């Protein structure tokens, strides 16, 4: 499964992991189960109350909660139906931004082309497209991604300007750093207590050992600062 990498207008690189075909199928099955339970309950209520559904409007009234379920759940719940919540996935625009109501609406309208009522084309398109997008996703410019499976780094304009001046990374291992690791490095470097130097030395040693970085000519503090700069390069400059 390939990640979707974007760079936003705020100079934030985000790597999003598209939800797998199995994630999406299980999410749909959960949603179908919820809709089925609603139908069973509604049918029993109508039968018990002896309600006569004589007009299209009366039938639509009872069917509407299921018919519009994917649309209003995604609009009101940040791109999540109950099934998506269980599978820890949600809908985003392909550039990582929040979908508009129009995008949600287009996805919903094209369920008729993607779903079992026609030909299961959605399953086919999810299986063959790079970002695991069904027809509705492709038309609306959306994708379904795993929650929390992302890496991001914000670079301010001064840092961005610095990195564009023929900067060449010193440590390619910096591309393997996680966001949590870079935040730890930043916190240690910005600290000012009596144990700072010892913690800088300890952290530098652990990183060198973890990423097999040898023959470092820099001091531990310079090494950590260079590592952060290299990370910024890989997080942003390589994608532009």
Distance separating alpha carbons of residues 56 and 40, to the nearest angstrom: 20
Q: Look at 113 and 75; give whichever has higher pLDDT.
A: 75
Mean pLDDT across the chain: 81
Is the CB of residue 27 less than 8 Å from the CB of residue 81? yes
3-state SS record for the chain: CCCEEEECCCCEEEEEEECCHHHHHHHHHHHHHHHHHHHHHHHHHHHHCCCCCCCHHHHHHHHHHHHCHHHHHHHHCCCCCHHHHHCCEEEEECCCCCCCHHHHHHHHHCHHHHCCCCCCHHHHHHHHCCCCCCHHHHHHCEEEEEEEEEEEEECCHHHHHHHCCCCCCCCHHHHHCCHHHHHHHHHHHHCCCCCHHHHHHHHHHHHHHHCCCCCCCCCHHHHHHHHHHHHHHHHCHHHC
Q: Dmax of the chain from CA atoms?
A: 85
Does 58 or 72 have the greater pLDDT score? Answer: 72
* Contact assessment for residue 99 and residue 93, using Cβ atoms and an 8 Å cutoff: yes
Q: Measured between alpha carbons, how far is 230 from 163 in angstroms, rounded to an integer?
A: 9
Q: pLDDT tens digits for 141-186? A: 999 998 864 444 444 444 555 555 677 889 999 888 887 788 889 8
Average pLDDT over residues 68-77: 93
- Residue 161's CB is within 10 A of a number of other CB atoms, namely 10
Average pLDDT over every residue of 32-41: 91
Residues β-bridged to residue 145: 18, 90
Domain ranges across the chain: 4-150, 157-239
Residue 93 structure tokens: 């625009």
pLDDT at 229: 85
CA distance 195 to 182: 19
- The answer, yes or no, to whether residue 200 has pLDDT greater than 80, is yes
In angstroms, the CA 211 to CA 168 distance is 19
């Amino acid at each position: 499964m390939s990640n979707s990498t974007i760079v936003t207008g705020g100079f934030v690189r985000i790597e999003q992991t598209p939800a797998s075909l199995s994630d999406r199928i299980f999410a749909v099955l959960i949603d179908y189960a919820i809709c089925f339970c609603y139908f069973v309950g509604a049918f029993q209520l109508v039968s018990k109350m002896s309600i006569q559904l004589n007009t299209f409007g009366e039938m639509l009234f009872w069917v509407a909660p299921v018919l519009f379920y994917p649309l209003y759940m995604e609009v009101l719940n940040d791109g999540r139906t109950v099934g998506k919540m269980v599978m820890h996935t949600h809908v985003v625009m392909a550039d990582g931004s929040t979908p508009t109501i129009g995008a949600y609406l287009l996805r919903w309208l094209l369920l008729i082309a993607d779903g079992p009522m026609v030909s299961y084309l959605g399953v086919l398109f999810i299986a063959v497209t790079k970002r695991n997008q069904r027809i509705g996703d492709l038309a609306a410019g959306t994708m379904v991604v795993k929650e929390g499976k992302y890496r991001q780094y914000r670079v301010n304009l001064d840092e961005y300007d610095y990195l564009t001046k023929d900067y060449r990374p010193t440590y390619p291992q910096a591309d393997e750093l996680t966001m949590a690791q870079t935040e730890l490095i930043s916190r240690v470097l910005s600290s000012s207590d009596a144990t700072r130097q010892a913690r800088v030395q300890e952290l530098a040693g652990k990183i060198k050992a973890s990423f097999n970085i040898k023959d470092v000519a820099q001091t531990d503090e310079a090494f950590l600062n260079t590592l952060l700069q290299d990370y910024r390069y890989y997080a942003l400059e390589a994608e532009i």
